[in-house]
Chain A
Amino acid sequence: MNVSVRKITAVFLIWTLFFSSFTTIIFAVEDQFEVLLSVTSNDTTAPSVPSGLSSTAVSTSQINLSWTASTDNVAVTGYHVFRDNSLIATSTLTIYSDTGLVANAAYSYAVSAIDAVFNESARSATSTATTLSEVVVDAGGGGGGGSSTSNPLITNLQVFPGLNQALITWDTRKETISTVSWGQTQNYELGLSAEAFYLNNHQIVIPNLQAGTDYFFRIEITDGGGRKNFVESGFRTLGIAEDILNPINFRATPREKSIDLSWNNPSTPNFEEVRILRSTKFYPADPFDGEVVYEGRDEFVTDVDTVAGTRYYYTIFAKNKDGQYSSGVVVNAQIALPGEPPPKQEDVFESLPKAPSVHPIIQKLSLFDFDFIQDGERKQLFDGDTVLIDGNKNLTVSLDYSKVPEILKSVVVTLSDPQDDTKTFSFLLRVNSEKSRYVATIGALGKTGTFGVGISIVDFKNQGLKKIKGSLLASSATASEGRSIIQNLNAMIIENFWKLIIALLLLAFIAEGLKKIFKKNRKTDKYNENKEEREKAKYVKNY
């Protein structure tokens, strides 16, 4: 070791040791930090006060209540029922049967509406009813063979409203014949149905109702001795409001170093802009779940921040002027690696692991469980897998919330083009604000023909996938596809590109031919003209 190096080493040692006396030489280090989250409750508005409370005694121990639904800025989730100023129940329907009462006693009722965060309305006006007396009526048996002498009584009255129908069930201790009438007013103007036999357990399905509409009904029972009783009540059919309209025709076209995205904006006046997000893992499920690619009102954007060989999952959301987003439309694309053929547009869930099982409730789902709705009406399924729709109208696809388990899942509907089933269009279903349905609305398909329908339900908890297939038969559409004149012209040029080239070549050949013919004719004319002049000159000379 030379002197210089020894000097440096010594200085180094001294320096290091000097600093070591000021430096904490440590064996374990801790650091603490905080994770913060703000949870808000944006809903501070109470629902409106329920109105039209009606109380009807139907037996010595039961009084049925009905009232008109309240409204709320978000959603009404239920009603508190008060008897004599005491809360006795919470009902999600606008009817309630209070049982276990004392005969011939008066009860006073009121109801209030609540929403999801328990904002509560004021109570309704009270309604009073008196349970029936234990009346003994002389009577002979009856058609049903009842031997009791009391009036027939209705018990266990229940209403199960659906979208376009309602199931009503009730029991009578005696065998009775029941007559049911219904309507949108208490005149029961819409229909009447009578049983043909004496029964104890009764039920009726009231058909052809409108979604989200209030109805009244009256059940009148008659036993074999001609003794009668009745009950009046009401219900509201399930409502299917159109969801916020999604963009349509969302397509991704990979280029050499970028991906072109195109779509058609919704044509509603309330449309504000679209928001496109992407992820390399899976389709962004909400407008804040991924990288923002684009926000605005255009119908085309190029994603340049891309890497070859990486598959990108895009979701486009339409935002309305109230700041609400549509359920989302999805597409994926991948830029080819150098020297490799362009990757195809993947089936929506092709890349997902195919797990051996999904939740048993999801496994049982079929196309019949999904509602295809236009103008508030459920479109009928025929042949088990085909739904007839109007190609010119918005289409809402909906799944009852109760039909799937409360586990993390994605529901995606994919439509394939009638002329080219490689052209697909996929959109997400999401829970509505009432948490009653998974729903999505898309604009008019703008085409006639049979669209393939694939519904994929991804069960993230069980890592499983359920697929359902069917068809949409779209009729009476005009083939505009919602495009502008220029877009239609462009599409026509692209679709007929080779025909146009051939036509241009033919035109060129024809023009060339005509040119030659014209030239030849000119030569002939000139020759004839010269010949005439020559003959004329010859004639003059001879003459």
Chain B
Amino acid sequence: MSRVIKTTLSVVVMLLVSYQGIFAAARNSSNYSIQSDSINFSGGFSTSASFEQESTLGEVATGPSSSSSFNIKAGYQQMQTVYLAITTAANVTLSPSINGTIAGTANGSTSVTATTDNVAGYELYIKASSSPALISGSNSFADYTPSGANPDFTFSVGATASEFGFTPEGADVVQKYLDDGVSCNTGAGDTADSCWSGLSTTNDLIVQKLTANQPSGTPTTLKFRAENGSSNLQSAGNYTATATVTLLAR
């Protein structure tokens, strides 16, 4: 292999590596938890076909701790320098507009792609900022309530009600949102426009991936639906739900 080729290859590889870092920084919101930005020349760096490992010397680990929501790994050695990124989710405009005097259904979706080099993978959660989620002043659509413990396979709203729900679709959607063509939380299918649930103000686990997926990432489509029952009078207005997706390394 000529030197020029080798150099070119190395530059390309380096550019790719640095691009991923820039990519991660560019696509995240201001709510990051910064885990590490150190430079370390001790220890060694070794590679294999499937993972990278970095070791350090001379530091004392304080060990892991946890709360109900997050696992915290504090201390130098405990800190994992994993790459974790999600693409920015576009705002969703449900369409068509609903005439509040008659029955109507509005749909919309957005997509987020989660990427990590963490060999243990990641988890993706969703929550709403308010309860009920879809509100306009004092008016609202009720958060969708499934008829049983699991999400509803079919979106179903009574004639005198108006409800707002969502369903995630993608390769690593958790079992709760998978189906057998009839019911949810059973089978391995991911039937389109099925398995509906309501947003709540607590995080709801929607995606779980057990491996790294860098650099391609894994997209998840979040579908939203609002429906006004045939006998329900829904006040006119611009309704908004603020949703937050949180990506955690496992």
A residues near B (Cβ < 8 Å) are 4, 8-9, 11-13, 15-43, 74, 116-117, 280-281, 286, 288-289, 353, 406-408, 431, 433, 435, 460-461, 463
- The answer to whether A39 and B100 have CB atoms under 8 Å apart is yes
- The answer to whether A41 and B239 have CB atoms under 8 Å apart is no
In the complex with contacts A37-B106, A406-B158, A408-B157, A28-B92 CB distance below 8 A = no
Among residues of B, the one whose C-beta sits closest to the C-beta of A27 is B35
- The answer to whether B244 and A31 have CB atoms under 8 Å apart is yes
- The answer to whether A29 and B84 have CB atoms under 8 Å apart is yes
In the complex with contacts A37-B134, A435-B231, A31-B242 CB distance below 8 A = no
Q: Which of the segments B21-29, B57-65, B169-177, B208-216 contacts the partner chain?
A: B21-29
* Residue numbers in B under 8 Å from A74 (CB-CB): 101
Q: How far is the CA of A36 from the CA of B21 in the complex (A)?
A: 32
Shortest CB-to-CB span from A6 to chain B, Å, is: 12
Shortest CB-to-CB span from A79 to chain B, Å, is: 17
- The 8 A CB mask of B230-247 against A (1 = contact, 0 = none) is 110111111111111111
Interface size on B, residues (CB 8 A): 95
Q: How far is the CA of A27 from the CA of B153 in the complex (A)?
A: 34
Among residues of A, the one whose C-beta sits closest to the C-beta of B93 is A36
**In the assembled complex, B68 has its CB within 8 A of some CB on chain A:** no
- The 8 A CB mask of B189-211 against A (1 = contact, 0 = none) is 00111000000000000000000
* Residue numbers in A under 8 Å from B186 (CB-CB): none
Other CB < 8 Å A-B pairs besides A37-B134, A39-B234, 15 of them? A16-B18, A23-B24, A28-B70, A28-B246, A28-B247, A31-B89, A32-B244, A33-B242, A35-B133, A36-B94, A37-B239, A281-B193, A286-B105, A407-B156, A460-B154
- The answer to whether A353 and B88 have CB atoms under 8 Å apart is no
Q: How far is the CA of A15 from the CA of B96 in the complex (A)?
A: 50
* Residue numbers in A under 8 Å from B188 (CB-CB): none
- The answer to whether A19 and B21 have CB atoms under 8 Å apart is yes
* Residue numbers in A under 8 Å from B22 (CB-CB): 19, 23
**In the assembled complex, B102 has its CB within 8 A of some CB on chain A:** yes
**In the assembled complex, B108 has its CB within 8 A of some CB on chain A:** yes
- The answer to whether B40 and A39 have CB atoms under 8 Å apart is no
* Residue numbers in B under 8 Å from A12 (CB-CB): 10, 13-14, 17
* Residue numbers in A under 8 Å from B108 (CB-CB): 35
Shortest CB-to-CB span from B109 to chain A, Å, is: 10
In the complex with contacts A33-B110, A40-B99, A461-B147, A28-B105 CB distance below 8 A = no
Q: How far is the CA of A24 from the CA of B25 in the complex (A)?
A: 6
Among residues of A, the one whose C-beta sits closest to the C-beta of B7 is A8
* Residue numbers in B under 8 Å from A286 (CB-CB): 105
Interface members, chain B 84-121 (any A CB < 8 Å): 84-86, 88-94, 96-103, 105-106, 108, 110, 112
In the complex with contacts A24-B25, A26-B35, A27-B249, A39-B136 CB distance below 8 A = yes
Q: Report which residue of A19, A34, A74 has the largest number of chain B beta carbons within 10 angstroms of its beta carbon.
A: A34
Shortest CB-to-CB span from B117 to chain A, Å, is: 10
Shortest CB-to-CB span from B129 to chain A, Å, is: 8
Among residues of A, the one whose C-beta sits closest to the C-beta of B183 is A463
- The answer to whether A21 and B37 have CB atoms under 8 Å apart is yes
* Residue numbers in A under 8 Å from B99 (CB-CB): 39-42
* Residue numbers in A under 8 Å from B97 (CB-CB): 37-40
In the complex with contacts A25-B35, A406-B229, A35-B241 CB distance below 8 A = yes
* Residue numbers in B under 8 Å from A29 (CB-CB): 28-29, 32, 84-86, 246-247
Q: How far is the CA of A461 from the CA of B248 in the complex (A)?
A: 35
- The answer to whether A26 and B182 have CB atoms under 8 Å apart is no
* Residue numbers in A under 8 Å from B55 (CB-CB): none
- The answer to whether A15 and B17 have CB atoms under 8 Å apart is yes
* Residue numbers in A under 8 Å from B241 (CB-CB): 34-35
* Residue numbers in A under 8 Å from B147 (CB-CB): 461
Among residues of B, the one whose C-beta sits closest to the C-beta of A30 is B31
- The answer to whether B34 and A26 have CB atoms under 8 Å apart is yes
The 10 A-B residue pairs with the shortest CB-CB distance, nearest first, are A23-B21, A406-B159, A41-B236, A408-B156, A38-B97, A35-B241, A33-B89, A37-B94, A29-B247, A37-B239
* Residue numbers in B under 8 Å from A435 (CB-CB): 230-231
Can you name 29 A-B residue pairings with CB atoms under 8 Å? A8-B6, A11-B10, A12-B17, A19-B17, A20-B38, A22-B21, A28-B248, A29-B84, A31-B86, A33-B91, A33-B243, A34-B243, A35-B94, A37-B238, A39-B97, A39-B136, A39-B236, A40-B98, A40-B100, A74-B101, A280-B192, A281-B193, A289-B105, A406-B229, A406-B230, A407-B156, A407-B158, A408-B154, A463-B154
